[in-house]
A and B are shown apart, each in its own frame.
Chain A
Amino acid sequence: EAGVAQSPRYKIIEKRQSVAFWCNPISGHATLYWYQQILGQGPKLLIQFQNNGVVDDSQLPKDRFSAERLKGVDSTLKIQPAKLEDSAVYLCASSYTGRGGAFFGQGTRLTVV
């Protein structure tokens, strides 16, 4: 079974630039999550999709972050414009049901300089 795929693995951008991350969940997983993990902290949920609908985006900074999951499969997370404090690892995860252990991708390490 293929895991959750994310790209790119690493990204360095200047503040005020824009960046996009891509995620391909495990086939058949209806639930997809984007997490932000700042160094020394646990993952923090940004947004949860159920198929192509948003279930929870209460912690997504909507003035600069956006996410979509067209056709209920792949998803992209965008930051525009980036700030220094956005430096973090962005993790995508998917699960068959809303509860239980989700499967995580390797993450994208973003550095904003």
Chain B
Amino acid sequence: DQQVKQNSPSLSVQEGRISILNCDYTNSMFDYFLWYKKYPAEGPTFLISISSIKDKNEDGRFTVFLNKSAKHLSLHIVPSQPGDSAVYFCAASGSGQNFVFGPGTRLSVLP
């Protein structure tokens, strides 16, 4: 049973435009969410987080939105740059629980 889903395996976006990566979860006990970015042959790098007490968190070009009623979160990258091309993982956890990762979405930003 996949508790964290990223239904788009890949996404291509033109440089300068917005990238929107989506993540859905099934466990209503999840209350803390992370996004990681992963380049080939490297470990995942923490990008941004959001707690369930918020519906938005922003850090530079990266914004994460959380819709608790829909059990959905999204990562917006504006403007997208070629260096943003990577695999993005969504991860979720509940209190006292470890993070469950989604399968990832490969983002390609085209120059």
Contact = CB atoms under 8 A, between A and B. Distances in A.
Nearest to A41: B103
Contacts of B102: 42
A93 B98 contact: no
Interface in A42-70: 42-45, 48, 56
A24 to B, nearest CB: 13
B93 to A, nearest CB: 7
Interface residues of A, number: 21
Interface residues of B, number: 21
Contacts of A102: 46
B71 to A, nearest CB: 17
A43 B44 contact: yes
Question: At the interface, is chain A mostly helix, strand, loop or mixed?
Answer: loop
B49 A101 contact: yes
B43 A104 contact: yes
B4 A42 contact: yes
A91 to B, nearest CB: 6
A67 to B, nearest CB: 15
Contacts of A107: 42-43
A99 interface: yes
A93 B43 CA distance: 9
Interface in A69-113: 91, 93, 99-107
Nearest to A40: B103
B89 interface: yes
Most chain B CB atoms below 10 A, which of A93, A101, A103, A107 = A101
